[in-house]
Amino acid sequence: MSEIIKTEAVVLSKMNYRESSTIASFYTKDLGKISGIIKGARSPKSPVGHKIDSFNYLQIVLYKKSGREIQLISQAEMISYYPRIKEDLLKLKYASAVLELVSAMTLEEESNPRLFRGIVRILNLFEASNRKPGILLIKFIVFLLKESGFEIQFMRCSQCGRPISTDEKKYYFNFEKGIICSPCSHDVAVDVTFSPELFQFITGLNGIGSEEKIDSGEIDKTLNFLEKYLKYHVPEFKGIKSIHLF
């Protein structure tokens, strides 16, 4: 027996299936990540098909059957389609990385309402705010790491346990061990260094206003660091394609 479920969902990706159908990946409020088929979606007469597109925030109705890998999507109502993201190449680049990371870092049917709210919130920020898109992506990755159990601890030196001062001139990080204080940096391999502004930003110690001090080079360096950190701790993770393709 199938269970009829109505839930909110963000479309992560889609692909054509057979002559007229579409299979899409969704991150949903109540079920987590699921795959669903929309039969006849590519027909001009389909009431659902044109709503199934990456980024679209929907309310969907599905027939969920236990043990079935691809659920049947019967209805979809648009909540938001984020036109400014889709029209702005820079926003599109970094927002696409959000969807890619959610796809790569979550398991099928593992519900996380807090993560769902975080996805919607970050897409709303990409859509409506004038904050730097690369910084928004960094904020989301830090949030996703915490939700996925890979949170980076920055407050104490991983080598000696000493609290990390907030007025250092440089901050040091080793991918295996974590944050390193200045004295220990002479004894441990340093994989990346942070400026004080970047360290404070990553650790949430500053406000939105100070983001203007962070230039594109530091944003790229931070994203590169976070990507390498994910690769180191999640062997099956192969990198963020979106930020390299655009």
Give mean pLDDT, residues 68-74. 95
- Domain-embedded: residue 176: no
Q: 26 and 125: one domain?
A: no
CA distances from 91 to 103, 124, 196, 241 (A): 19, 11, 26, 15
Q: 44 and 106: one domain?
A: no
- Domain-embedded: residue 20: yes
| Residue 128's CATH number | 1.20.1440
Q: 88 and 67: one domain?
A: no
pLDDT value at position 210?
64
| Residue 73's CATH number | 2.40.50.140
% of the chain with per-residue pLDDT over 70 = 97
Domain that holds residue 102: 83-152+191-245
pLDDT value at position 244?
87
Q: 89 and 140: one domain?
A: yes
Q: Please, how many CA atoms are within 13 Å of residue 77, restricted to the half-sphere of its CB?
A: 5
| pLDDT of 148 above 70 | yes
Q: 199 and 213: one domain?
A: yes
Q: 27 and 117: one domain?
A: no
Q: 40 and 102: one domain?
A: no
The residue with greater pLDDT, 58 or 236, is 58
The residue among 43, 59, 80 that closes a domain is 80
The residue with greater pLDDT, 79 or 236, is 79
pLDDT value at position 208?
53
| pLDDT of 124 above 90 | yes
Please state the pTM of the whole predicted model. Answer: 0.91
Q: Can you state the angle between helices 216-233 and 133-147, rounded to 10 degrees?
A: 20
Q: What is the pLDDT of residues 84-106, one digit of tens each?
A: 999 999 999 999 999 999 999 99
Number of domains the chain is built from: 2
pLDDT value at position 106?
95
Question: Hey, how many other C-beta atoms are within 10 angstroms of the C-beta on 176?
Answer: 10
